[in-house]
Amino acid sequence: MGGSDREGYHRIVLPTYNRPAMVIERDRFLDDTAQWRLSLGLTSRTASMHSLMSALTDEERGAINVSLTRALDEIVDLLRRRRTNGPVS
């Protein structure tokens, strides 16, 4: 059993009957390393919201993507300033 098999074996799997499947998410890195990565996402939490999000048109999904991207850009700018101006553990 290799290292990757072992990691998969110990992975926690949540029951699918209670887990939303609709996620619209954006990722960003604060620099060129993989150490400073964050995500911002919109996740359905109920069956009704999952249905609503699943019914979005490409144009509506694109508008959500633009909103998430703008918000994430602002958050990343703030975090970069904080990282530059102060000690980070």
Measured distance CA(24)–CA(43) in Å, rounded:
7
Q: Give the model confidence (pLDDT) of 56-86 as tens digits.
A: 999 999 999 999 999 999 999 999 999 888 7
pLDDT band (50, 70, 90) for residue 46: confident
Q: Examine residue 72 and state whether it is found in any structural domain, yes or no.
A: yes
Q: Write down the pTM of the prediction.
A: 0.67
What is residue 47's predicted lDDT score, i.e. its pLDDT?
87
Contact assessment for residue 80 and residue 30, using Cβ atoms and an 8 Å cutoff: yes
Domain count, the chain: 1
Q: Which domain holds residue 62?
A: 19-85
Establish if 11 belongs to a structural domain.
no
* Position 10 in a domain: no
Q: Report yes or no on 37 lying in a domain.
A: yes
Contact 36, 29 (CB under 8 A): yes
> pLDDT category, 89, cuts 50, 70, 90?
low
Nearest by Cα to 73 from 35, 36, 47, 38 = 38
5: pLDDT confidence band, cut at 50, 70 and 90?
very low
Q: Is residue 13 part of a domain?
A: no
